[in-house]
Structures are given as structure tokens and as C-alpha cells.
Amino acid sequence: MNGKDNFEYLQSIADITYVIHEYARLVDLNRTDEQVLCFAENGVADYFGTDIVGREAIGELLKPAVNKWIAMSTAISNIQIQMANDTTATSVCYAHIWERCDEKGEGDVVVRGQYHDNWVKTDEGWKISKRTFLVMGATPPRPDARGIGRLTSS
């Protein structure tokens, strides 16, 4: 890899990481109209086992889901990005999501999971072409949620 290739590779990693963090920041601020811009125009979101296609449809899914909380905090960690080529990549990152339901906080929800993303470089920059969320654990428990496929001890 020459210097130019190395710079472009590192820039792509930084740009994708920025979008991952920007998505979390925007969801916490309840800015779903901006949050959907992290997706490609025809991007796909799979949060509950069903593919939602396109920014408008993703926004229609996110708005009521985010609006029902009076506060949110999304912490992102363990980002791993694999560059397929100059215009496509995949990533996995962990998300720890806290959702405040009311002033008392008696029904707060905490979800821990992973975002599995496919990426495409567009004229607007790096965008999510497909995002799948898999649950690692939740309080209260969500036994119906798709998990990460963790091996059990034998």
C-alpha cells in the first residue's frame, strides 16, 4: 500500500467512524430527520427483523420509536471496520442504549447490542447501505429480539 492508498484507507476508516458516532448523537437529540441522512438514499434498516428501505421509510419508523422517550443516551464502542474496496465496507460496533420513559424513570429501558453495517461511498460521503441491530441483552429482557448468535458452553 503506497502513501496515498494508506491515507485514503485511514480517511475512510475515520469517516465511517464519524458517521457511526453521528448517528448515535442525533438519535439522542431526537433529530430523526438528520439521523436518516446517515443512510444512503435507498439504505436499509433492520432493527426488528424486517427490512425497512429508504430514508423516508426509515424516518417513519424512527420518529415514533425515538419520540416516546423523554431522554436517551447511546454509547458506541468496539468499532471494527473492514474495507472491501474504495467504495464499500462493513462494520460491527457495540451500542449501549439507555431510554428514559418518564420523569420518575421507573420504566427505563437499557438495551445492549451490536450494529452490523454495510457501507457505500456516495457523492455525500460514506453512508450506511444496510444496518442490522442484534441484541446482546436488555432490561427489561427482550427474549423475542434477535441475538448475536453467542455460543453457549458445552
For the segment 59-102, what is each residue's pLDDT rounded down to a tens digit? 999 999 999 999 999 999 999 999 999 999 999 999 999 999 99
pLDDT in the model for residue 79: 98
Residue 60: half-sphere exposure toward Cβ, Cα within 13 Å: 7
Distance CA 146, CA 134 (A): 6
Coil, strand or helix at 5:
helix
Give all strands (DSSP E) within 48-108, no chain letters: 52-53, 71-83, 88-100
For the segment 31-70, what is each residue's pLDDT rounded down to a tens digit? 999 999 999 999 999 998 999 999 999 999 999 999 999 9
* Element spanning 24, H or E: helix 3-28
Distance CA 84, CA 31 (A): 31
Distance CA 17, CA 82 (A): 12
Q: Which amino acid is at 76?
A: I
Q: In the CATH scheme, what is the code of domain 3-139?
A: 3.10.450.50
pTM, two decimals, is 0.93
